[in-house]
Amino acid sequence: MTTYHFLQLYWWAIVSILGALLVFLMFVQGGQTLLFGTAKNDAQKKILTTIFGHKWEITYTTLVTFGGAAFASFPLFYSTSFGGAYWLWILILLSFVIQAFSYEFRSKENNLLGTKVYDIFLLINGVAGTILIGVAVGSFVTGGNFMMDKMNITNVGSNIISYWTNDYKGIELIAVPANLLLGVVIFLCARTLGLLYTINQCEKIAGEDAEQLSQRAASRLIISGVAFVLFFVAFVVVLFLSTGYKVDVNSPLFNGIDGPIVAEKYAYLHTMLSIWPLAVVFLLGVVCVLIGLGRTILMGKGTFYLTGLGVILAVFAILLSLGWNDMSYFHSNTDINNSLTLYNSSSSLYTLKTMAYASIAVPFVIAYIAYIWKKMSAKKEI
């Protein structure tokens, strides 16, 4: 293995852990869906917006960091997905924008739109934001309608390397069943974690409203948690039975960057099994989720952090399997040989190496996030 390819694998792992953390942190979006149905009065809504309002910035920051890491390490992916399927990403970003100003203005006196409108905006972010992110990630498996020509970089008239080949610009990805399936999984995951976090935080708040809110969250967790597990299993089955696309590194046409793309049945399952630590991490994550949900539903013991750890581990393993083992992590449905791989879409060796030195600071960043998390959780003013 060359140093260059090692760094490509390393940065795909960094992007994957950021993606896994993002899925976990979307418990904030899941909690926002409880404003209608679970919360029965203004006092209970205030409890929800207080406990989740202390965390929404971390989720948003992680989303931006994920996009920044993808841009720096795999710029061709960034330009293809974010630039080509821009209507899908614009909808995602708009859902997060309305979340930001909803938390800012919903409790202001004489606010322009009224508290209920801002609560509806938070609901939209909780439902549409999570589902659409799932759709975007699902396209890693189902592919996109794009073409790529690196020679265009020398074309003064049109130096666009990759471009979408239809006029829908990513909206069509919503209509792909496998993408929607993952979107529903992400939504149910976020809602389940939101319910668990509500139970966790209501234990620290005195009062009848907090107690009633916790009881309703516990009853709704049964439906949400079971649905999450069932839909997740359905997605994993679809993923493992799907045909994947790989770089034929043994072909004489492979030059270390580009090479023939070949189809392989059950490619994602083969990747998970051939790199056994991935399978271990994935199974460990699934076990943590099942134990966490089981302890809460059957024994009434809040296990938000155990379930959250399971989600991070399982998602991390799945994202790694999409790019490692010579996989095409974003294949072209227009021309399969235009598909994106770690080989042909990454930054230069110098850039990846320089960023690798900078990534030494990542543990300190995580420690800082943990510190801020603790400080924010200590705020109990309701």
* Separation CA 24–CA 39 (nearest Å): 22
Closest of 95, 65, 107, 110 to residue 358, by C-alpha? 65
Question: Quick one: how far is CA 362 from the chain centroid?
Answer: 19
Angle, CA of 25, 268 and 278, to the nearest 5°: 60
- Pairwise CA distance, residues 38 & 226, whole Å: 18
- Say yes or no to pLDDT of 158 above 70: no
Unique residue bearing structure tokens 């997740």? 232
Supply the pTM of this predicted model: 0.92
Burial class from Cβ neighbours inside 10 Å (0-12, 13-18, 19+) for residue 124 reads: middle
The secondary element (H helix, E strand) that includes residue 218 is: helix 208-241
Please say whether the beta carbons of 124 and 95 come within 8 A. Answer: yes
Radius of gyration of the chain (CA): 22
Give 58's pLDDT tier (boundaries 50, 70, 90): confident
Averaged pLDDT score across all residues of the chain: 89
The residue among 169, 221, 225, 223 whose CA lies nearest residue 198 is 221
Contact partners, residue 216, CB within 8 Å, separation at least 6: 38, 40
Q: What is the pLDDT of residues 33-55, one digit of tens each?
A: 999 988 888 899 999 998 998 88
Tens digits of residue pLDDT in 110-120 = 777 888 899 99
Residue 175 is encoded by which pair of tokens? Answer: 């209509």
| Residue 378: pLDDT band with limits 50, 70, 90 | low
3-state SS assignment for residue 54: coil
Q: What are phi and psi of 246, to 5 degrees?
A: -130, 155
Which residues lie closer than 8 Å to 173 by C-beta, 6 or more apart?
A: 85, 88, 135, 136, 138, 139, 142, 144, 179
Higher pLDDT, 153 or 357: 357
Q: With bands split at pLDDT 50, 70 and 90, how would you rate the model's confidence at 156?
A: low
- Predicted local confidence at residue 330, as pLDDT: 94
216/127 Cα distance (integer angstroms): 20
- The pLDDT tens digits of the residues spanning 84-115 come to 888 999 999 999 999 988 888 887 777 778 88
Residue 143 zone, left/alpha/beta (φ > 0; ψ -120 to 50; rest): left
Query: Is 194 or 371 the better-scoring residue by pLDDT?
Result: 194
Distance (Å) of CA 135 to CA 29, 89, 242, 308, 318:
16, 10, 16, 21, 15
Tally the C-alpha atoms within 13 A of residue 238's C-alpha that lie toward its C-beta: 17
Exposure string for 284-304, b = 16+ CB within 10 A, e = fewer: ebbebbeebbeebbeeeebbb
Tell me the pLDDT tens digit for each residue of 302-339: 689 999 999 999 999 999 999 999 999 999 999 999 99
| pLDDT at res. 152 | 63
The closest alpha carbon to 25, from 71, 57, 49, belongs to: 57
Structure-block tokens of residue 344: 């042909």
* Domain definitions of the chain by residue range: 3-377
Q: What's the Cα-to-Cα distance from 321 to each of 26, 63, 144, 270, rounded to whole Å?
A: 22, 21, 19, 9
Helix (H, G, I), strand (E, B), or coil: what is residue 147?
A: strand
What number of helices (H) and strands (E) belong to the chain? 17, 6
CB 330 within 8 A of CB 80: yes
